[in-house]
Chains A and B, each alone.
Chain A
Amino acid sequence: MNKSIIAIFIVALSLIHSMIFSETKLDYKGEASFENWIFPNDAASTNQTNTNNTVQLKAEATLTSDFFSMRLEPRIKEDFSERSRGRLLLDEGWMGLTFSDFEFRVGFQQFTWGMVESQKLVDILNQKDYEGDFFDPDKLATLSARIIISPIEKLDIELYYLAHFIKAKLPTTKGRYSLTNGLSNIQDKAIFGNKAEEWYPNVAARIFTTISTFDIALSFFHGYNSFPTTDASFSKPYYYIMNQAGLEVTWVPGKPIFKLEAVYRNMRNSNNSSIPSILIPDPYLAYVAGVE
Protein backbone atom coordinates (compact mmCIF):
# COMPACT_ATOMS: atom_id res chain seq x y z
CA MET A 1 0.00 0.00 0.00
CA ASN A 2 2.78 2.44 0.93
CA LYS A 3 4.62 1.62 -2.30
CA SER A 4 1.46 2.33 -4.29
CA ILE A 5 1.00 5.68 -2.60
CA ILE A 6 4.63 6.59 -3.29
CA ALA A 7 4.26 5.57 -6.94
CA ILE A 8 1.09 7.63 -7.36
CA PHE A 9 2.78 10.58 -5.64
CA ILE A 10 5.78 10.39 -7.97
CA VAL A 11 3.56 10.23 -11.04
CA ALA A 12 1.44 13.15 -9.81
CA LEU A 13 4.55 15.17 -9.03
CA SER A 14 5.93 14.48 -12.52
CA LEU A 15 2.70 15.60 -14.08
CA ILE A 16 2.58 18.78 -12.06
CA HIS A 17 6.25 19.43 -12.81
CA SER A 18 5.71 18.98 -16.53
CA MET A 19 2.75 21.34 -16.43
CA ILE A 20 4.54 24.05 -14.46
CA PHE A 21 7.78 23.99 -16.43
CA SER A 22 6.31 23.57 -19.89
CA GLU A 23 3.85 25.52 -21.90
CA THR A 24 0.35 24.50 -20.89
CA LYS A 25 -2.49 25.28 -23.22
CA LEU A 26 -6.23 25.18 -22.60
CA ASP A 27 -8.59 24.80 -25.56
CA TYR A 28 -12.32 24.87 -25.09
CA LYS A 29 -15.50 25.20 -27.01
CA GLY A 30 -19.21 24.67 -26.52
CA GLU A 31 -22.17 23.84 -28.66
CA ALA A 32 -25.92 24.09 -28.29
CA SER A 33 -28.25 22.38 -30.72
CA PHE A 34 -31.93 21.77 -31.25
CA GLU A 35 -33.36 18.92 -33.32
CA ASN A 36 -36.87 18.50 -34.52
CA TRP A 37 -37.91 15.24 -36.22
CA ILE A 38 -41.23 14.96 -38.00
CA PHE A 39 -42.48 11.63 -39.37
CA PRO A 40 -45.24 12.20 -41.93
CA ASN A 41 -46.62 8.64 -41.65
CA ASP A 42 -47.99 7.01 -38.49
CA ALA A 43 -45.90 4.28 -36.90
CA ALA A 44 -47.13 0.72 -36.40
CA SER A 45 -47.87 1.38 -32.74
CA THR A 46 -49.80 4.30 -31.26
CA ASN A 47 -47.10 4.46 -28.57
CA GLN A 48 -44.55 5.60 -31.13
CA THR A 49 -44.39 9.34 -31.58
CA ASN A 50 -44.70 11.20 -34.87
CA THR A 51 -42.58 14.13 -33.74
CA ASN A 52 -39.54 14.42 -31.59
CA ASN A 53 -37.80 17.48 -30.15
CA THR A 54 -34.34 17.36 -28.62
CA VAL A 55 -32.11 20.00 -27.08
CA GLN A 56 -28.44 19.21 -26.56
CA LEU A 57 -25.60 21.08 -24.86
CA LYS A 58 -21.98 19.98 -25.36
CA ALA A 59 -18.77 21.35 -23.93
CA GLU A 60 -15.22 20.41 -24.70
CA ALA A 61 -12.09 21.33 -22.76
CA THR A 62 -8.60 20.07 -23.53
CA LEU A 63 -5.54 20.81 -21.44
CA THR A 64 -2.20 20.05 -23.08
CA SER A 65 1.40 20.52 -22.11
CA ASP A 66 4.56 18.93 -23.48
CA PHE A 67 3.92 15.49 -22.02
CA PHE A 68 0.55 15.63 -20.30
CA SER A 69 -2.90 16.09 -21.72
CA MET A 70 -6.40 15.93 -20.35
CA ARG A 71 -9.79 16.16 -21.98
CA LEU A 72 -13.32 16.58 -20.70
CA GLU A 73 -16.32 16.50 -22.99
CA PRO A 74 -19.62 16.48 -21.08
CA ARG A 75 -22.94 16.38 -22.88
CA ILE A 76 -26.50 17.03 -21.73
CA LYS A 77 -29.40 16.00 -23.93
CA GLU A 78 -33.07 16.52 -23.16
CA ASP A 79 -35.67 14.67 -25.22
CA PHE A 80 -39.11 16.23 -24.90
CA SER A 81 -40.94 13.23 -26.36
CA GLU A 82 -39.39 10.61 -24.13
CA ARG A 83 -37.55 11.52 -20.97
CA SER A 84 -35.64 8.23 -20.85
CA ARG A 85 -33.73 9.37 -23.92
CA GLY A 86 -32.28 12.26 -21.99
CA ARG A 87 -28.58 11.99 -21.39
CA LEU A 88 -26.03 13.37 -18.98
CA LEU A 89 -22.72 11.80 -19.77
CA LEU A 90 -19.08 12.20 -20.66
CA ASP A 91 -18.31 11.78 -24.33
CA GLU A 92 -14.65 11.91 -23.35
CA GLY A 93 -12.92 12.18 -19.97
CA TRP A 94 -9.33 11.05 -19.90
CA MET A 95 -5.78 11.85 -18.92
CA GLY A 96 -2.74 10.99 -20.97
CA LEU A 97 1.02 11.00 -21.23
CA THR A 98 2.73 11.50 -24.58
CA PHE A 99 6.35 10.92 -25.53
CA SER A 100 8.01 10.82 -28.94
CA ASP A 101 7.32 7.12 -29.55
CA PHE A 102 4.90 6.24 -26.76
CA GLU A 103 1.48 7.39 -25.71
CA PHE A 104 -0.71 6.34 -22.79
CA ARG A 105 -4.28 7.36 -22.02
CA VAL A 106 -6.72 6.28 -19.35
CA GLY A 107 -10.30 7.26 -18.72
CA PHE A 108 -13.53 7.43 -20.64
CA GLN A 109 -12.55 7.30 -24.28
CA GLN A 110 -13.98 6.92 -27.75
CA PHE A 111 -11.96 5.10 -30.38
CA THR A 112 -12.26 4.96 -34.13
CA TRP A 113 -11.06 2.09 -36.23
CA GLY A 114 -11.75 1.58 -39.90
CA MET A 115 -11.18 3.20 -43.25
CA VAL A 116 -14.39 2.60 -45.20
CA GLU A 117 -17.05 5.31 -45.06
CA SER A 118 -20.24 3.30 -45.55
CA GLN A 119 -19.92 0.18 -43.40
CA LYS A 120 -17.95 0.21 -40.17
CA LEU A 121 -17.20 -3.47 -39.72
CA VAL A 122 -14.00 -3.12 -37.73
CA ASP A 123 -15.05 -0.23 -35.49
CA ILE A 124 -16.49 -2.11 -32.52
CA LEU A 125 -14.63 -0.92 -29.43
CA ASN A 126 -17.30 1.52 -28.30
CA GLN A 127 -20.91 0.77 -27.51
CA LYS A 128 -23.50 2.75 -29.45
CA ASP A 129 -26.57 4.72 -28.45
CA TYR A 130 -29.32 3.44 -30.72
CA GLU A 131 -32.10 5.23 -28.88
CA GLY A 132 -31.65 8.55 -30.58
CA ASP A 133 -30.74 7.50 -34.12
CA PHE A 134 -30.70 3.82 -34.95
CA PHE A 135 -28.93 4.17 -38.30
CA ASP A 136 -26.29 6.70 -37.25
CA PRO A 137 -25.92 6.13 -33.52
CA ASP A 138 -23.67 8.13 -31.23
CA LYS A 139 -20.74 6.31 -29.68
CA LEU A 140 -20.59 5.96 -25.91
CA ALA A 141 -17.27 6.51 -24.18
CA THR A 142 -15.90 3.45 -22.45
CA LEU A 143 -13.71 3.23 -19.35
CA SER A 144 -10.44 2.11 -20.82
CA ALA A 145 -6.69 2.37 -21.09
CA ARG A 146 -4.79 2.63 -24.34
CA ILE A 147 -1.10 2.45 -25.13
CA ILE A 148 0.38 3.38 -28.52
CA ILE A 149 3.97 2.45 -29.28
CA SER A 150 5.71 3.72 -32.41
CA PRO A 151 8.99 1.79 -32.59
CA ILE A 152 9.76 3.01 -36.12
CA GLU A 153 8.40 5.66 -38.44
CA LYS A 154 5.02 4.83 -40.01
CA LEU A 155 4.30 1.98 -37.58
CA ASP A 156 1.90 2.28 -34.65
CA ILE A 157 1.14 -0.58 -32.25
CA GLU A 158 -2.02 0.09 -30.23
CA LEU A 159 -3.04 -1.92 -27.16
CA TYR A 160 -6.44 -1.52 -25.52
CA TYR A 161 -7.88 -2.57 -22.17
CA LEU A 162 -11.61 -1.92 -21.92
CA ALA A 163 -12.48 -2.28 -18.27
CA HIS A 164 -16.25 -1.87 -18.31
CA PHE A 165 -18.75 -2.94 -20.92
CA ILE A 166 -21.80 -0.76 -21.49
CA LYS A 167 -25.03 -2.39 -22.59
CA ALA A 168 -26.46 -1.11 -25.85
CA LYS A 169 -28.99 1.68 -25.57
CA LEU A 170 -31.85 0.21 -27.57
CA PRO A 171 -34.94 2.01 -28.86
CA THR A 172 -37.72 1.97 -26.26
CA THR A 173 -41.49 2.07 -26.37
CA LYS A 174 -42.07 5.50 -27.85
CA GLY A 175 -39.02 5.43 -30.09
CA ARG A 176 -39.60 5.54 -33.81
CA TYR A 177 -37.05 2.78 -34.35
CA SER A 178 -38.64 0.45 -31.83
CA LEU A 179 -38.77 -3.15 -32.94
CA THR A 180 -42.07 -4.99 -33.07
CA ASN A 181 -44.52 -2.18 -32.37
CA GLY A 182 -42.64 -0.72 -29.49
CA LEU A 183 -40.01 -2.49 -27.46
CA SER A 184 -39.80 -2.18 -23.72
CA ASN A 185 -36.48 -1.56 -22.19
CA ILE A 186 -35.16 -5.06 -21.59
CA GLN A 187 -31.58 -4.27 -20.70
CA ASP A 188 -32.09 -5.09 -17.02
CA LYS A 189 -32.57 -8.70 -18.08
CA ALA A 190 -29.34 -8.90 -20.10
CA ILE A 191 -27.45 -12.18 -20.04
CA PHE A 192 -23.68 -12.09 -20.44
CA GLY A 193 -21.28 -14.68 -21.76
CA ASN A 194 -19.13 -14.36 -18.64
CA LYS A 195 -20.20 -14.27 -14.99
CA ALA A 196 -18.22 -11.05 -14.50
CA GLU A 197 -20.91 -9.50 -16.71
CA GLU A 198 -20.15 -5.85 -17.49
CA TRP A 199 -16.81 -6.03 -15.70
CA TYR A 200 -15.38 -8.76 -17.89
CA PRO A 201 -12.38 -6.96 -19.43
CA ASN A 202 -12.40 -6.66 -23.20
CA VAL A 203 -8.98 -6.41 -24.83
CA ALA A 204 -7.85 -5.37 -28.26
CA ALA A 205 -4.76 -4.66 -30.33
CA ARG A 206 -4.19 -2.90 -33.63
CA ILE A 207 -1.16 -2.45 -35.83
CA PHE A 208 -1.24 0.45 -38.30
CA THR A 209 1.39 1.08 -40.94
CA THR A 210 1.98 2.91 -44.19
CA ILE A 211 3.83 1.11 -46.96
CA SER A 212 4.26 3.06 -50.17
CA THR A 213 0.76 3.99 -51.37
CA PHE A 214 -0.95 1.66 -48.88
CA ASP A 215 -2.31 2.29 -45.39
CA ILE A 216 -2.81 -1.07 -43.69
CA ALA A 217 -4.17 -2.00 -40.28
CA LEU A 218 -4.50 -5.40 -38.62
CA SER A 219 -6.57 -5.70 -35.48
CA PHE A 220 -7.71 -8.21 -32.92
CA PHE A 221 -10.53 -7.91 -30.41
CA HIS A 222 -11.67 -10.19 -27.59
CA GLY A 223 -14.79 -9.26 -25.69
CA TYR A 224 -18.52 -8.83 -25.87
CA ASN A 225 -20.34 -8.33 -29.12
CA SER A 226 -21.72 -4.82 -28.67
CA PHE A 227 -25.11 -5.37 -30.29
CA PRO A 228 -26.94 -8.11 -28.42
CA THR A 229 -28.61 -11.10 -29.89
CA THR A 230 -32.10 -12.02 -28.70
CA ASP A 231 -34.66 -14.77 -29.03
CA ALA A 232 -37.88 -14.54 -31.02
CA SER A 233 -39.81 -13.05 -28.10
CA PHE A 234 -37.30 -10.22 -27.64
CA SER A 235 -37.47 -10.81 -23.89
CA LYS A 236 -33.76 -10.71 -23.11
CA PRO A 237 -30.62 -9.40 -24.80
CA TYR A 238 -27.70 -11.79 -24.86
CA TYR A 239 -24.15 -10.42 -24.99
CA TYR A 240 -21.89 -13.21 -26.17
CA ILE A 241 -18.11 -13.13 -26.13
CA MET A 242 -16.37 -13.18 -29.45
CA ASN A 243 -12.95 -12.98 -31.04
CA GLN A 244 -12.59 -10.70 -34.02
CA ALA A 245 -9.66 -10.35 -36.41
CA GLY A 246 -9.82 -7.32 -38.69
CA LEU A 247 -8.08 -6.01 -41.77
CA GLU A 248 -8.24 -2.45 -43.11
CA VAL A 249 -6.61 -1.30 -46.33
CA THR A 250 -6.53 2.02 -48.16
CA TRP A 251 -4.70 2.14 -51.48
CA VAL A 252 -4.06 5.48 -53.21
CA PRO A 253 -2.37 4.73 -56.54
CA GLY A 254 -3.34 8.11 -58.01
CA LYS A 255 -6.62 9.98 -58.09
CA PRO A 256 -8.93 7.10 -57.06
CA ILE A 257 -8.81 5.76 -53.51
CA PHE A 258 -9.49 2.04 -53.01
CA LYS A 259 -10.65 0.80 -49.60
CA LEU A 260 -11.24 -2.55 -47.98
CA GLU A 261 -12.40 -3.67 -44.55
CA ALA A 262 -12.73 -7.29 -43.54
CA VAL A 263 -13.53 -9.03 -40.27
CA TYR A 264 -13.52 -12.63 -39.18
CA ARG A 265 -15.61 -13.31 -36.08
CA ASN A 266 -15.53 -16.48 -34.07
CA MET A 267 -17.85 -16.91 -31.12
CA ARG A 268 -17.63 -20.64 -30.68
CA ASN A 269 -14.35 -20.91 -28.82
CA SER A 270 -15.31 -18.37 -26.20
CA ASN A 271 -16.86 -19.32 -22.92
CA ASN A 272 -20.50 -18.46 -23.59
CA SER A 273 -22.01 -21.22 -21.46
CA SER A 274 -24.74 -19.02 -20.01
CA ILE A 275 -26.14 -18.26 -23.46
CA PRO A 276 -28.23 -20.77 -25.48
CA SER A 277 -25.91 -22.00 -28.21
CA ILE A 278 -28.65 -21.55 -30.78
CA LEU A 279 -28.40 -17.79 -30.24
CA ILE A 280 -24.66 -17.68 -30.86
CA PRO A 281 -23.83 -17.21 -34.54
CA ASP A 282 -21.47 -19.47 -36.40
CA PRO A 283 -18.06 -18.03 -37.24
CA TYR A 284 -18.25 -15.78 -40.27
CA LEU A 285 -16.23 -13.56 -42.56
CA ALA A 286 -17.56 -10.18 -43.64
CA TYR A 287 -15.95 -7.61 -45.91
CA VAL A 288 -16.70 -4.38 -47.69
CA ALA A 289 -14.70 -2.77 -50.46
CA GLY A 290 -15.09 0.28 -52.63
CA VAL A 291 -13.52 3.16 -54.47
CA GLU A 292 -13.72 6.93 -53.98
Chain B
Amino acid sequence: MYKKIVFSLILTFLMALSGLSYGDSRAQAIYKRILKSGVKKGKAIAKTADEMDIGFKDQQSIMRMVLIDASGGKTTRIMATKRLEQKSDGDKSVFIFKKPNDIKGIGLLTFEHKRKSDEQWLYLPASGRLKKISSDNKSGSFQGSEFSYEDLGTTEIEKYRYKYQEDGKFDGQDCFILIRYPTERSSGYSKQVSWVRKDNFQPLKVEYYDRKNEHLKTLLFKRYKKLKGKYWRAYYMDMENVQTGKRTTLTMINLRIGTGLSKDRFTTRALKRS
Protein backbone atom coordinates (compact mmCIF):
# COMPACT_ATOMS: atom_id res chain seq x y z
CA MET B 1 0.00 0.00 0.00
CA TYR B 2 2.81 2.36 0.96
CA LYS B 3 4.68 1.62 -2.28
CA LYS B 4 1.52 2.32 -4.32
CA ILE B 5 1.08 5.71 -2.65
CA VAL B 6 4.72 6.67 -3.21
CA PHE B 7 4.56 5.52 -6.84
CA SER B 8 1.36 7.54 -7.43
CA LEU B 9 2.93 10.61 -5.87
CA ILE B 10 6.06 10.29 -8.02
CA LEU B 11 3.93 9.78 -11.13
CA THR B 12 1.79 12.78 -10.30
CA PHE B 13 4.90 14.89 -9.70
CA LEU B 14 6.41 13.84 -13.02
CA MET B 15 3.19 14.62 -14.87
CA ALA B 16 3.06 18.06 -13.24
CA LEU B 17 6.70 18.62 -14.13
CA SER B 18 6.02 17.80 -17.75
CA GLY B 19 3.27 20.43 -17.73
CA LEU B 20 5.83 23.01 -16.62
CA SER B 21 8.08 22.20 -19.56
CA TYR B 22 8.10 24.87 -22.24
CA GLY B 23 8.40 22.29 -24.98
CA ASP B 24 5.26 21.70 -27.00
CA SER B 25 4.76 18.50 -28.96
CA ARG B 26 1.59 19.92 -30.48
CA ALA B 27 3.65 22.74 -31.99
CA GLN B 28 6.08 20.28 -33.54
CA ALA B 29 3.24 18.25 -35.05
CA ILE B 30 1.64 21.36 -36.56
CA TYR B 31 4.97 22.56 -37.95
CA LYS B 32 5.75 19.23 -39.60
CA ARG B 33 2.31 19.10 -41.17
CA ILE B 34 2.61 22.62 -42.59
CA LEU B 35 6.12 21.98 -43.94
CA LYS B 36 4.92 18.78 -45.61
CA SER B 37 2.19 20.76 -47.37
CA GLY B 38 4.90 22.63 -49.27
CA VAL B 39 4.86 25.95 -47.43
CA LYS B 40 8.27 27.60 -47.27
CA LYS B 41 10.07 27.46 -43.95
CA GLY B 42 9.65 31.12 -43.01
CA LYS B 43 5.90 31.15 -43.55
CA ALA B 44 5.61 27.68 -41.99
CA ILE B 45 7.10 29.02 -38.75
CA ALA B 46 4.66 31.93 -38.72
CA LYS B 47 1.70 29.70 -39.62
CA THR B 48 2.60 27.26 -36.86
CA ALA B 49 2.57 29.99 -34.24
CA ASP B 50 -0.71 31.27 -35.65
CA GLU B 51 -2.36 27.86 -35.77
CA MET B 52 -1.35 27.09 -32.21
CA ASP B 53 -3.47 29.98 -31.06
CA ILE B 54 -6.61 28.89 -32.88
CA GLY B 55 -9.51 28.09 -30.61
CA PHE B 56 -8.76 30.31 -27.63
CA LYS B 57 -12.20 31.87 -28.25
CA ASP B 58 -11.74 34.92 -26.09
CA GLN B 59 -9.29 36.54 -23.73
CA GLN B 60 -9.45 39.19 -21.07
CA SER B 61 -6.89 40.70 -18.79
CA ILE B 62 -5.81 43.73 -16.88
CA MET B 63 -2.69 45.23 -18.37
CA ARG B 64 -0.24 47.47 -16.54
CA MET B 65 1.67 49.71 -18.89
CA VAL B 66 4.71 51.54 -17.52
CA LEU B 67 6.19 54.28 -19.66
CA ILE B 68 9.85 54.90 -18.85
CA ASP B 69 11.53 57.98 -20.29
CA ALA B 70 15.20 58.26 -21.17
CA SER B 71 16.05 59.61 -17.71
CA GLY B 72 14.20 56.81 -15.91
CA GLY B 73 11.02 58.69 -15.02
CA LYS B 74 7.97 56.41 -14.92
CA THR B 75 4.29 56.80 -15.75
CA THR B 76 1.91 53.95 -15.06
CA ARG B 77 -1.33 53.21 -16.89
CA ILE B 78 -3.79 50.43 -16.16
CA MET B 79 -6.04 49.05 -18.92
CA ALA B 80 -8.69 46.39 -19.15
CA THR B 81 -8.43 44.45 -22.37
CA LYS B 82 -10.75 41.98 -24.06
CA ARG B 83 -10.21 40.03 -27.25
CA LEU B 84 -12.66 37.90 -29.23
CA GLU B 85 -11.48 35.33 -31.74
CA GLN B 86 -13.27 35.41 -35.08
CA LYS B 87 -13.36 32.28 -37.18
CA SER B 88 -13.24 33.77 -40.65
CA ASP B 89 -11.61 37.15 -40.03
CA GLY B 90 -9.31 39.04 -37.69
CA ASP B 91 -10.02 39.36 -33.99
CA LYS B 92 -12.13 41.99 -32.25
CA SER B 93 -10.59 43.76 -29.29
CA VAL B 94 -11.42 46.39 -26.70
CA PHE B 95 -9.02 48.45 -24.60
CA ILE B 96 -10.45 50.52 -21.74
CA PHE B 97 -8.21 52.74 -19.63
CA LYS B 98 -8.71 52.40 -15.88
CA LYS B 99 -5.91 54.60 -14.52
CA PRO B 100 -4.83 57.36 -14.26
CA ASN B 101 -8.05 59.28 -13.70
CA ASP B 102 -7.48 61.80 -16.46
CA ILE B 103 -7.77 59.08 -19.11
CA LYS B 104 -10.10 56.75 -17.23
CA GLY B 105 -12.88 55.45 -19.40
CA ILE B 106 -11.22 56.15 -22.75
CA GLY B 107 -11.88 53.13 -24.90
CA LEU B 108 -10.62 51.76 -28.18
CA LEU B 109 -12.62 49.20 -30.16
CA THR B 110 -10.87 47.43 -33.04
CA PHE B 111 -12.23 45.08 -35.67
CA GLU B 112 -9.19 43.52 -37.33
CA HIS B 113 -9.58 42.30 -40.89
CA LYS B 114 -7.39 39.90 -42.82
CA ARG B 115 -7.82 41.41 -46.25
CA LYS B 116 -8.83 45.01 -45.75
CA SER B 117 -8.08 47.88 -43.38
CA ASP B 118 -9.04 47.40 -39.77
CA GLU B 119 -11.93 49.39 -38.31
CA GLN B 120 -11.36 51.38 -35.13
CA TRP B 121 -13.47 53.56 -32.86
CA LEU B 122 -12.32 55.72 -29.99
CA TYR B 123 -14.66 56.65 -27.13
CA LEU B 124 -13.94 59.79 -25.12
CA PRO B 125 -16.03 59.84 -21.93
CA ALA B 126 -15.39 63.51 -21.16
CA SER B 127 -17.34 64.56 -24.24
CA GLY B 128 -19.43 61.42 -24.66
CA ARG B 129 -18.15 61.21 -28.22
CA LEU B 130 -17.68 58.05 -30.22
CA LYS B 131 -15.21 58.67 -33.05
CA LYS B 132 -14.38 56.43 -35.94
CA ILE B 133 -10.64 56.75 -36.45
CA SER B 134 -8.30 55.82 -39.20
CA SER B 135 -6.60 52.49 -38.66
CA ASP B 136 -4.09 53.42 -41.36
CA ASN B 137 -2.36 55.56 -38.72
CA LYS B 138 -1.37 52.41 -36.89
CA SER B 139 2.27 53.43 -36.89
CA GLY B 140 1.32 56.10 -34.35
CA SER B 141 2.13 55.64 -30.68
CA PHE B 142 -0.50 54.01 -28.49
CA GLN B 143 -1.21 56.53 -25.74
CA GLY B 144 2.30 57.90 -25.65
CA SER B 145 3.96 54.50 -25.21
CA GLU B 146 6.65 52.86 -27.31
CA PHE B 147 4.03 50.40 -28.57
CA SER B 148 2.29 51.48 -31.74
CA TYR B 149 -1.27 50.49 -32.60
CA GLU B 150 0.29 48.11 -35.11
CA ASP B 151 2.33 46.41 -32.37
CA LEU B 152 -0.71 45.76 -30.20
CA GLY B 153 -2.89 44.23 -32.91
CA THR B 154 -2.77 40.57 -33.80
CA THR B 155 -0.41 39.66 -36.58
CA GLU B 156 -2.50 38.46 -39.46
CA ILE B 157 -0.38 36.09 -41.57
CA GLU B 158 -1.77 37.55 -44.77
CA LYS B 159 -0.33 40.99 -44.02
CA TYR B 160 3.34 39.92 -44.14
CA ARG B 161 5.94 38.20 -46.32
CA TYR B 162 8.22 35.84 -44.44
CA LYS B 163 11.84 34.77 -44.80
CA TYR B 164 13.64 32.26 -42.65
CA GLN B 165 17.11 33.70 -41.96
CA GLU B 166 18.93 31.07 -39.92
CA ASP B 167 18.95 29.21 -36.64
CA GLY B 168 20.15 31.11 -33.60
CA LYS B 169 20.05 31.40 -29.85
CA PHE B 170 18.55 33.92 -27.48
CA ASP B 171 18.48 33.82 -23.71
CA GLY B 172 19.91 30.28 -23.84
CA GLN B 173 17.07 29.04 -26.06
CA ASP B 174 17.36 27.57 -29.57
CA CYS B 175 15.49 29.81 -31.96
CA PHE B 176 14.50 30.32 -35.56
CA ILE B 177 15.47 33.78 -36.74
CA LEU B 178 12.58 34.89 -38.91
CA ILE B 179 12.24 38.09 -40.91
CA ARG B 180 8.84 39.40 -41.84
CA TYR B 181 8.11 42.24 -44.23
CA PRO B 182 4.79 44.09 -43.88
CA THR B 183 2.80 44.19 -47.09
CA GLU B 184 0.55 47.05 -45.98
CA ARG B 185 1.77 50.49 -47.04
CA SER B 186 0.41 51.95 -43.81
CA SER B 187 2.85 49.91 -41.72
CA GLY B 188 5.49 51.93 -39.89
CA TYR B 189 8.14 49.24 -40.41
CA SER B 190 10.25 48.02 -43.27
CA LYS B 191 10.86 44.69 -41.57
CA GLN B 192 10.73 42.86 -38.25
CA VAL B 193 13.32 40.29 -37.17
CA SER B 194 12.00 37.71 -34.71
CA TRP B 195 13.73 35.15 -32.53
CA VAL B 196 11.16 32.33 -32.32
CA ARG B 197 11.67 29.46 -29.91
CA LYS B 198 12.07 26.19 -31.74
CA ASP B 199 10.25 24.12 -29.14
CA ASN B 200 7.03 26.10 -28.75
CA PHE B 201 7.13 28.64 -31.61
CA GLN B 202 6.72 31.62 -29.32
CA PRO B 203 8.69 34.81 -29.96
CA LEU B 204 11.34 35.80 -27.45
CA LYS B 205 12.60 38.92 -29.15
CA VAL B 206 11.54 41.10 -32.07
CA GLU B 207 13.62 43.86 -33.62
CA TYR B 208 11.65 46.49 -35.51
CA TYR B 209 13.19 48.42 -38.38
CA ASP B 210 11.77 51.74 -39.51
CA ARG B 211 11.03 52.81 -43.09
CA LYS B 212 14.66 53.90 -43.45
CA ASN B 213 15.62 50.34 -42.54
CA GLU B 214 17.26 51.47 -39.31
CA HIS B 215 16.83 49.56 -36.08
CA LEU B 216 14.07 51.38 -34.23
CA LYS B 217 12.77 49.22 -31.38
CA THR B 218 13.37 45.90 -29.60
CA LEU B 219 10.59 43.93 -27.96
CA LEU B 220 11.33 41.21 -25.40
CA PHE B 221 8.75 38.62 -24.34
CA LYS B 222 9.08 37.06 -20.89
CA ARG B 223 7.24 34.96 -18.32
CA TYR B 224 5.45 32.69 -20.73
CA LYS B 225 2.65 30.55 -19.33
CA LYS B 226 0.57 27.88 -21.00
CA LEU B 227 -3.15 28.39 -20.47
CA LYS B 228 -5.80 25.69 -20.84
CA GLY B 229 -2.96 23.29 -21.68
CA LYS B 230 -2.56 24.75 -25.18
CA TYR B 231 -2.25 28.51 -25.43
CA TRP B 232 0.98 30.33 -24.72
CA ARG B 233 0.83 33.84 -23.35
CA ALA B 234 3.70 36.15 -22.43
CA TYR B 235 2.88 37.87 -19.16
CA TYR B 236 5.59 40.50 -19.54
CA MET B 237 6.71 42.52 -22.56
CA ASP B 238 9.43 45.13 -22.71
CA MET B 239 9.64 47.47 -25.69
CA GLU B 240 12.72 49.65 -25.95
CA ASN B 241 13.12 52.42 -28.48
CA VAL B 242 16.83 52.10 -29.27
CA GLN B 243 16.89 55.49 -30.98
CA THR B 244 15.46 57.53 -28.06
CA GLY B 245 16.28 55.33 -25.06
CA LYS B 246 12.64 55.26 -23.93
CA ARG B 247 10.98 52.04 -22.81
CA THR B 248 7.50 50.74 -22.19
CA THR B 249 6.72 47.60 -20.24
CA LEU B 250 3.45 45.68 -20.35
CA THR B 251 2.53 43.31 -17.55
CA MET B 252 -0.53 41.07 -17.80
CA ILE B 253 -2.49 40.68 -14.62
CA ASN B 254 -5.29 38.17 -14.22
CA LEU B 255 -5.12 36.99 -17.83
CA ARG B 256 -7.87 34.49 -18.65
CA ILE B 257 -8.94 32.83 -21.86
CA GLY B 258 -12.12 31.05 -22.86
CA THR B 259 -14.20 33.08 -20.41
CA GLY B 260 -17.36 33.07 -22.54
CA LEU B 261 -17.31 36.67 -23.75
CA SER B 262 -20.11 37.35 -26.19
CA LYS B 263 -19.84 39.43 -29.34
CA ASP B 264 -22.17 42.10 -27.96
CA ARG B 265 -19.29 43.16 -25.67
CA PHE B 266 -17.44 44.22 -28.83
CA THR B 267 -19.82 46.83 -30.23
CA THR B 268 -19.81 50.60 -30.30
CA ARG B 269 -22.75 50.53 -27.90
CA ALA B 270 -20.80 48.43 -25.40
CA LEU B 271 -17.77 50.69 -25.79
CA LYS B 272 -19.80 53.72 -24.74
CA ARG B 273 -21.29 51.82 -21.85
CA SER B 274 -17.99 50.59 -20.46
Contact = CB atoms under 8 A, between A and B. Distances in A.
B129 A112 contact: yes
Nearest to B119: A210
Nearest to A100: B264
Contacts of B269: 103, 148, 150, 156
B211 interface: no
Interface residues of A, number: 27
Given A100-B264, A208-B268, A254-B134, A111 B128 contact: yes
Interface in A77-135: 98, 100-101, 103, 110-112, 114-115
Contacts of B273: 69, 98, 103
A57 interface: no
Interface string B255-274: 00000001110011100010
B128 A150 contact: no
Interface string B111-141: 0000001010000000111111111110000
Interface string A257-285: 10000000000000000000000000000
Interface residues of B, number: 23
A255 B136 contact: yes
A78 to B, nearest CB: 22
A252 interface: yes
A121 to B, nearest CB: 14
A148 B271 CA distance: 14
A215 interface: yes
Interface in A24-42: 29, 31
B101 interface: yes
Which of B104, B130, B186 has the most chain A CB atoms closer than 10 A to its own CB?
B130
A156 B268 contact: yes
Contacts of B264: 100-101, 150
B43 to A, nearest CB: 27
B93 to A, nearest CB: 16
A140 to B, nearest CB: 13
Contact of A100 (B104, B262, B268): B262
Which of B104, B133, B262, B264 has the most chain A CB atoms closer than 10 A to its own CB?
B264
Given A29-B101, A150-B269, A156-B268, A252 B133 contact: yes
A153 interface: yes
A115 B123 CA distance: 12
B186 to A, nearest CB: 7
Contacts of A115: 131-132
A254 B133 contact: no
A215 B120 CA distance: 11
Contacts of A29: 101, 104
Contact of A255 (B101, B104, B186): B186
A250 interface: yes
Interface of B: 101, 104, 117, 119, 127-137, 186, 262-264, 267-269, 273
Given A252-B132, A255-B186, 18 more contacts: A29-B104, A98-B273, A100-B262, A111-B128, A112-B128, A115-B132, A148-B269, A150-B269, A153-B263, A154-B267, A156-B267, A210-B132, A252-B119, A252-B133, A254-B136, A254-B186, A255-B134, A255-B137
For the complex of A and B, list the 9 residue pairs with the smallest distance between their C-beta atoms, beginning with the closest.
Answer: A112-B128, A100-B264, A250-B132, A255-B136, A215-B132, A254-B136, A252-B134, A29-B101, A255-B134
13 contacts: A29-B101, A103-B269, A153-B263, A156-B267, A156-B268, A210-B132, A252-B132, A252-B133, A252-B134, A252-B135, A255-B134, A255-B137, A257-B132
